Amino acid sequence: MTGDRADGAGGADALLTVLELLARQAPPARFDDLLDEARRTGLADGELHRLERAVELAGEVHAARAREARHEDGLAALTDTARDLTSPTTSTACSASSPAAPAGSSASTSRT
């Protein structure tokens, strides 16, 4: 619990460290390191169990954030595609490349 730990000792500080790591979006390995250190230092069984549960929940929060980020990326791509398909430059380019001239234009009617 060095480096990321709050002042003091014990399970409460370990739980606070989990929150600090979560707030900083630390990689999962940092949470594993925290658990390993708590086991090495002999954290009491009840406190260790709470810390393990806190780390498990932090992993769920991390996974939820990742899902939300993927969802937002997908929505942004969808929005960009819709914008591209409906932009005036796209529809102008499509009609300009059309081989047939519009009905009633001077090119389609001949006067003799």
pLDDT in tens, 86-96: 988 755 555 55
pLDDT in tens, 46-74: 999 999 999 999 999 999 999 999 999 99
Q: What are phi and psi of 6, to 5 degrees?
A: -80, 170
Residue 22 lies in a domain: yes
Residue 52 lies in a domain: yes
At 26 the three-state DSSP class reads coil
Residue 88 lies in a domain: no
Tokens of 66: 């990742």
Residue 92 lies in a domain: no
**Domain hosting residue 54, numbered range:** 10-68
Residue 24 lies in a domain: yes
Q: Which amino acid is at 2?
A: T
